[in-house]
């Protein structure tokens, strides 16, 4: 579907900023925030973190975090909260949004 049909942009815009702090529950079976972004800190079972696009080993079969709320869960994971801007209306939207944010926050390469 196109943006015109869904009303949801594939990438964040300034118009999305008002939604960033809106509280919502995780979408069952999604796990996009545990797949799309890179994580540089150690995760149990992934001592060197994980690259962007790789499913975290701590996601169970229902795409729920096995270490949610535990001290060994990386701080960056705890900082990601579901929001309408990030999650949209589908896992595909969340994956696109998070991939965009991953790319936008990469350190620039020196020339």
State if pTM tops 0.75.
Answer: no
Tokens 């998070």 — which residue? Answer: 98
Looking at residue 50, what DSSP letter applies? B
β-strand partners of 50: 39
29 close to 94: Cβ distance less than 8 angstroms: no
pLDDT tens digit sequence for 54-77: 999 999 999 999 999 999 999 999
């Amino acid at each position: 579907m196109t943006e015109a049909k869904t009303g949801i942009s594939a990438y964040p815009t300034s118009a999305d900023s008002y939604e960033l702090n809106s509280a919502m529950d995780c979408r069952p079976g999604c796990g996009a925030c545990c797949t799309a972004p890179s994580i540089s800190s150690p995760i149990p079972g992934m001592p060197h973190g994980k690259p962007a696009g790789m499913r975290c080993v701590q996601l169970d079969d229902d795409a729920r975090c096995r270490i949610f709320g535990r001290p060994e869960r990386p701080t960056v994971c705890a900082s990601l909260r579901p929001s309408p801007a990030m999650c949209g209306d589908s896992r595909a939207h969340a994956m696109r949004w998070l991939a965009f944010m991953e790319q936008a926050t990469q350190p620039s390469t020196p020339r």
